[in-house]
Amino acid sequence: MESIVIIIFVLGYLAITLEHNLKIDKMIPALGMMAVSWALISLGHLNVFDVNTELLQLEPTHLDEILLHHLGKTAEILIFLIGAMTIVEIIDYFNGFSAIKSFVKTNSRVKLLWIFSILAFILSAIIDNLTATIVLITILRKIILKREDRLWFAGMIVIGANAGGAWSPIGDVTTTMLWIGKKVTTLNLIKYLFIPSLLAMVIPVLFASRLPAFKGNIEQIEEVEEEKGDGYSGIMLYLGLGSIVFVPIFKTITHLPPYVGMMLSLAVVAIFAEIFSNARISLTQIDSDSDEASQYSPVHSALSGIELPSILFFLGILMAVAALESLGVLFNFAQGMNETIPMIGTEPAIAGYKVSDLVVLLLGVSSAVIDNVPLVAASIGMFSDPVDSPLWHFIAFAAGTGGSMLIIGSAAGVVAMGMEKINFFWYFKKIGWLALIGFLAGSLGFMALRVLF
């Protein structure tokens, strides 16, 4: 029966990887393999493994407790993401991201390359790499008219966004998973990964700045009349970004789970959004008590704009990985892998075995081909290193930046592919090697810093 669970997971994983070929949303196989896996565990009365205690023989009535345990850990991540997504949608409701366009005041291709790469690096650390990519490509469309030129900049934005998301606990879903799972802390994550992540962005930009595509000036900067936000766009931008940055600070002070701080931040942003929204409604002569006024609620609008399929995908994949973790499959796989792969710059683990840097590098390369969320979820179940072990920091970096090597290797890449219709092979030929150089440079930088710290 355990073998059948593994086969179900592999088939579901394959369907997720071939999402674009099968034309089936990855949410569907994720939810399906999650439900089937736990059903097989229940029907087969399988032993459930707990890394922190021992192998336990569970009766079906006790399986509910195991499910609630894993669902609780998964729900922390999902609630956190829902809060962050809602804040971003509220900022967009007030056209807050239009203020970022004020940073772009040149038509030099090289300068634009550096500006957009730096903005991607910084912005993704605050609002996550996916949202940062959407915002910056939207701005890019208002500045560069020729699609052929935009493709190069969009590719470099993907590299910068993924690099920026790796060093922040709120910059990438996988890093957030490690943070909420108490594998890394905010200050140590930044200490170990800021410089490697910076290298993963700067080195590719240095190489790209010498390419013909970034020589000279762009042909034309389109002058677009700024959309009016009734004077609240800038306020909501900085309020929203500041509230998200406040979450790690709240966690450090109170020692409460991150989703509690995110809910507080959402409440504060929502209060100001409703106040500003009422002011906007009064300017348009709409009766605040009418049904029409309710349509202008920024909170309701933001909640309707959340990507619910992504939330359900995370639910399915994390609970499916939890099923393998509960069976002890991931733990046994980790032990077998460390016995066969040569040790390079190894780090000791609690369980008495060692993890090779080569394993983590392979994980980073794999994240360019398959989704990095289940990869990191699996690594959490495979290894039992203590909090802030260099292993977890290296996994955060590898999974976050390795996906840049292929356009389908990260959420930022997929959304850029959709927005600009970027060809898979074009990206692989023109941008992929730049991402690989950045990934290797950042990995070497991390290994050097690990020795120093």
pLDDT digits (tens, 9 = 90+) for 221-254: 545 444 444 578 888 888 998 998 898 899 889 9
Considering the domain architecture, whether residues 268 and 191 belong to the same structural domain is answered as yes
Give the single-character DSSP code of 210. T
CB 68 within 8 A of CB 39: no
CA distance 363 to 443: 12
CA distance 263 to 260: 5
**pLDDT value for 276:** 85
pTM: 0.76
**pLDDT value for 278:** 78
Residue 356 placed within a domain: yes
3-state secondary structure of 56: strand
Q: Which domain holds residue 285?
A: 78-174+186-306
**pLDDT value for 47:** 62
What count of other Cβ atoms lies within 10 Å of the Cβ of residue 376? Answer: 28
**pLDDT value for 338:** 61
Q: Which two tokens stand for residue 301?
A: 């609008």
Considering the domain architecture, whether residues 290 and 379 belong to the same structural domain is answered as no
Question: Residue 59: what residue type?
Answer: E
Residue 151 placed within a domain: yes
Residue 160 placed within a domain: yes
Considering the domain architecture, whether residues 228 and 272 belong to the same structural domain is answered as yes
| Last residue in a domain, options 306, 338, 362 | 306
Considering the domain architecture, whether residues 86 and 225 belong to the same structural domain is answered as yes
Single out the residue of 161, 151, 75, 146 nearest to residue 116, CA to CA: 161
Number of domains forming the structure of the chain: 2
Considering the domain architecture, whether residues 115 and 63 belong to the same structural domain is answered as no
Q: Which two tokens stand for residue 453?
A: 């710290």
In which residue ranges of the chain is pLDDT below 70? Answer: 45-61, 219-230, 279-296, 330-355, 371
Residue 179 placed within a domain: no
3-state secondary structure of 72: helix
Considering the domain architecture, whether residues 144 and 199 belong to the same structural domain is answered as yes
CB 195 within 8 A of CB 444: no
Considering the domain architecture, whether residues 438 and 315 belong to the same structural domain is answered as yes
What count of other Cβ atoms lies within 10 Å of the Cβ of residue 134? Answer: 20
**pLDDT value for 157:** 95
Question: What is the largest distance, in Å, between two alpha-carbon atoms of the chain?
Answer: 72
Considering the domain architecture, whether residues 34 and 119 belong to the same structural domain is answered as no
3-state secondary structure of 429: helix
Considering the domain architecture, whether residues 360 and 387 belong to the same structural domain is answered as yes
